[in-house]
Chains A and B, each alone.
Chain A
């Protein structure tokens, strides 16, 4: 009887914590919706900002964020999967790989501003990319690489040994086995890591602040070596740096809402894609 009441309490405690968490996130989302929706209009989405963002729209920032996120994923996904395949399938397991894994997990927890400074040093200054889409994308890629590597490695190792053995016993090389019988079955796990990465890449301000973002640009970037506007940075400027911060409150909430919807949209697309892979390669 005592046992049962203990379990009962624990379940209720967890239930209350769960509802508290969900409702606080819900309140934030509702607040952004409530205050942001009135400023959303076609011209807000499709116009360039005027008067330092006090008027006009946020189109260049939307495009900039899409560029940065796409670039980051395009760079991080192949690199991350390749690293994970090497670490989990080829590397001789030992002290060295243990340290590499430890380093990767540590990197996943490094504050984003550190990646920003690293990107500033390596891509902007040393490689002379300047503050640009390229430098920003690569910096974001570095930031999300650890997440992708860790998730991909876990996904690879979740593929049952029987499948590898079946393939190897038929005379497949190690690479053929990985390509045909391991990677396809780990795609959904790899996508999960990437989804987490995408969300982070889209929302971070510090890395792009130092490597890519401009406060205001009259034109869209013409090449990877141009600066861009980006939603998180635009939001940061409107909220803290703008001379008429109070007057542009609506614009702030509108920008936050667009960023939220954008991240949600990218994640939804990735989740749908993952679902299709799951159906195709279920085991």
Chain B
């Protein structure tokens, strides 16, 4: 019953028959989907539909919640990240994440960006400065903060904090970027900046974004997946999903009949 859209043989992420449980509550049912490299895939759906849960299975962030259970396979570059012996630390280095609520560390802007490189053993301070500048450039924040890298990150505005979190994620050198409603707490101008940024980053990164804002999904993504009550109802090119959805539920949702 699940539409998987066109199958790309060189998919970056392949999810096969994924079930997910919080204790006795099942949150995801038999999700199968493929995500193409260097494309933006958006997950849409009403609150509680499982889209964030699904996003967090892709870097195993759900591992830290006690009592969760995963069945099925998640292949990244052909490797099942839930297989025994998977190095979760290495996984999270290559799969970066940006959260809904910007969560900079209560440290300086500089220390925030180099947190990842530091824990992975980079000690050379010239190299760390270089990484910080590159990452902040990439996140479109460098011009605004280059003279105050020593200031506490919490002194930045909400939109700047979120771009700092993006810079921090990029500093580790990921190939995939997961974004969990990255603009939902921001004003329209900051949101536009984040969306522009996603447009620039798609050239180098495989981006998966969860959003409850359908216009945003339509604007930024190449592919869209519609989730409802833990099921992946429909997946396809964004254009197709928004202009001629194949499923009645999808159509009802995007035309605002429910959710």
Q: Of A171, A176, A282, which contacts B106 at CB under 8 A? A: A282
A170 touches B119 (CB 8 A): yes
CA distance A166 to B107 in the complex (A): 13
Q: How far is the CA of A185 from the CA of B106 in the complex (A)?
A: 9
> Which residue of chain B is the closest to A172 with respect to CB atoms?
B119
Contact A171 B172 (CB under 8 A): yes
B101 contacts A162, CB within 8 Å? yes
| Structural contact, B92 and A165, CB atoms closer than 8 A | no
**Partner-binding segment picked from B58-66, B70-78, B216-224:** B58-66
CB pair A281–B106 under 8 Å, yes or no, is yes
| Binary interface encoding of chain B residues 90-108 relative to chain A, with 1 for a CB under 8 A from any of its CBs, else 0 | 1111001101010111100
**A42 surroundings in chain B (CB, below 8 A):** none
Q: Is A181 an interface residue (CB 8 A)?
A: yes
Instruction: Determine if A181 and B92 form an interchain contact, defined as CB atoms under 8 angstroms apart.
Output: no
Interface size (B, Cβ < 8 Å)?
26
Q: Which residues of B contact A1 (CB under 8 A)?
A: none
B106 engages A162 (CB within 8 Å) = no
Cβ of A176 and Cβ of B119 under 8 Å apart?
yes
- The answer to whether A171 touches B61 (Cβ under 8 A) is no
Known: A164-B64, A165-B61, A283-B106. Contact between A172 and B99, CB under 8 A?
Answer: no
Does any Cβ of B come within 8 Å of A23's Cβ?
Answer: no
Number of A-B contacts (CB under 8 A): 66
B-contacting residues, A157-198, CB 8 Å: 160, 162-173, 176, 180-181, 185
A165: B residues at CB distance < 8 A? 61, 64, 97, 99, 103
B51: chain A residues within 8 A (beta carbon): none
Contact B105 A166 (CB under 8 A): yes
Q: Which residues of B contact A162 (CB under 8 A)?
A: 99, 101, 103
Q: Looking at chain A, what size class is its interface with the partner chain?
A: 20 to 34
Kindly list chain B residues whose C-beta atoms are within 8 Å of the C-beta of A164: 64
Q: Which residues of A contact B59 (CB under 8 A)?
A: 169
A281 to B111, CA, bound (A): 13
Task: Give chain A residues whose Cβ lies under 8 Å from the Cβ of B105.
Answer: 163, 166-167, 181
Q: Is the interface of A mostly helix, strand, loop or mixed?
A: helix
Contact status B90-A171, CB under 8 Å: yes
Residues of A near B168 (CB, < 8 A) are 166, 170
Of the candidates B96, B101, B104, B120, the one whose C-beta lies within 8 Å of that of A169 is: B96
Contact flags (1/0) for A129-164 with B, using CB distance below 8 Å? 000000000000000000000000000000010111
Q: In the bound complex, do residue B61 and residue A168 qualify as a contact, i.e. CB atoms below 8 Å apart?
A: yes
For the complex, is B116 an interface residue (Cβ under 8 Å from A)? yes
Q: Which of A93, A160, A171, A185 contacts B93 (CB 8 A)?
A: A171
A165 to B101, CA, bound (A): 11
Closest-by-CB residue of A relative to B89 is A171
Minimum Cβ distance to chain A for residue B253 (Å) = 29
B49 at the binding interface (Cβ < 8 Å):
no
> Which of chain A's residues have a CB closer than 8 A to the CB of B61?
165, 168-169
Chain A residues with CB below 8 A from B169, complex form = 169-170
CB distance from A172 to the nearest CB of B (A): 5
Cross-chain contact B92 with A168 (CB below 8 angstroms): yes
Which residues of B pack against A, CB within 8 Å? 59, 61, 64, 66, 89-93, 96-97, 99, 101, 103-106, 115-116, 119-120, 154, 165, 168-169, 172
Further contacts, 6 of them, CB under 8 A, given A172-B115, A172-B119, A173-B89? A163-B105, A166-B165, A167-B105, A167-B119, A170-B115, A171-B91
In the complex, 6 of the A-B residue pairs with CB atoms within 8 angstroms, ordered by the A residue number, are: A162-B103, A165-B97, A169-B92, A171-B93, A173-B89, A181-B105
